[in-house]
């Protein structure tokens, strides 16, 4: 009979010791981009809730983690001249993650906004602003940042 309480105590202790993997909502958006991703990071990224502002050599980026329907967020970008794409999501084409991007330029400054679906109702939003006259180049930089952020998110 003494064995049962000891066994129960041991099982309870083991259950308390297990740690669950970090979840999307617990992810620190400032940990998802790093110096070297698209140039040297200047200063410390500034966090505000689930958003983080980064300043690299020649551009600024804001990364936001949010829970929303990808179709709704994507449609906002598509309706204003955006286009669809994908980020490689691991092994096989079936794991690619949808990405919608819209880039605009104004007086030699290109702004690209994008939304990446990580999982159902889990999105990464990115805005990149860079002095440039080539939307395609800035769009590619934004896609690089989206891929880096996706790689570093808790799975």
Q: Residue 64 class from Cβ within 10 Å (0-12 exposed, 13-18 middle, 19+ buried)?
A: middle
pTM, to two decimals: 0.82
Structure tokens at 41: 């990071």
User: Is 8 a member of any domain?
Assistant: no
Give the number of domains in the chain.
1
The string of pLDDT tens digits covering residues 84-94 is 999 987 665 56
φ, ψ of residue 134 to 5 degrees: the values are -115, 100
In a domain, 2, yes or no: no
Query: Following DSSP, what letter does each residue of 51-90 receive, concatenated?
Result: EEEEEBSSEEEEEEEE-S-HHHHHHHHHTTT-EEEEE--S
pLDDT score, position 89: 75
Confidence of residue 4 (pLDDT cuts 50, 70, 90): very low
Q: What range defines the domain where residue 44 resides?
A: 22-152
Residue 91: predicted pLDDT: 62
Three-state DSSP state, 96: coil
Residue 66: which CATH number? 3.40.1000
1 lies in a domain?
no
For residues 34-47, average pLDDT: 95
Per-residue pLDDT, 102: 97
pLDDT at site 23: 73
pLDDT tens per residue, range 84-120: 999 987 665 567 999 999 999 999 999 999 999 999 9
pLDDT at 19 over 60: no
Q: What is the pLDDT of residues 131-151, one digit of tens each?
A: 999 999 999 999 999 999 999
Percent of the chain with pLDDT over 90: 74
Alpha-carbon span 30 to 18, nearest angstrom: 26
Give the dihedral sign, CA 89/92/94/100: positive
């Amino acid at each position: 009979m003494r064995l049962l309480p000891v066994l129960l105590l041991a099982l309870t202790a083991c259950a308390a010791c297990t740690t669950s993997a970090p979840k999307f909502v617990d992810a620190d958006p400032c940990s998802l981009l790093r110096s070297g991703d698209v140039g040297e990071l200047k200063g410390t990224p500034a966090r505000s809730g689930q958003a983080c502002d980064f300043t690299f050599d020649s551009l600024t980026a804001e990364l936001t983690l949010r829970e929303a329907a990808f179709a709704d967020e994507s449609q906002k970008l598509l309706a204003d001249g955006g286009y669809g794409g994908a980020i490689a999501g691991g092994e096989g084409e079936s794991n690619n993650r949808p990405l919608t991007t819209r880039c605009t330029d104004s007086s030699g400054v290109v702004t690209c906004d994008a939304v990446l679906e990580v999982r159902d109702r889990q999105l990464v939003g990115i805005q990149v602003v860079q002095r440039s006259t080539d939307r395609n180049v800035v769009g590619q930089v934004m896609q690089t940042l989206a891929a880096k952020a996706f790689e570093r998110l808790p799975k």
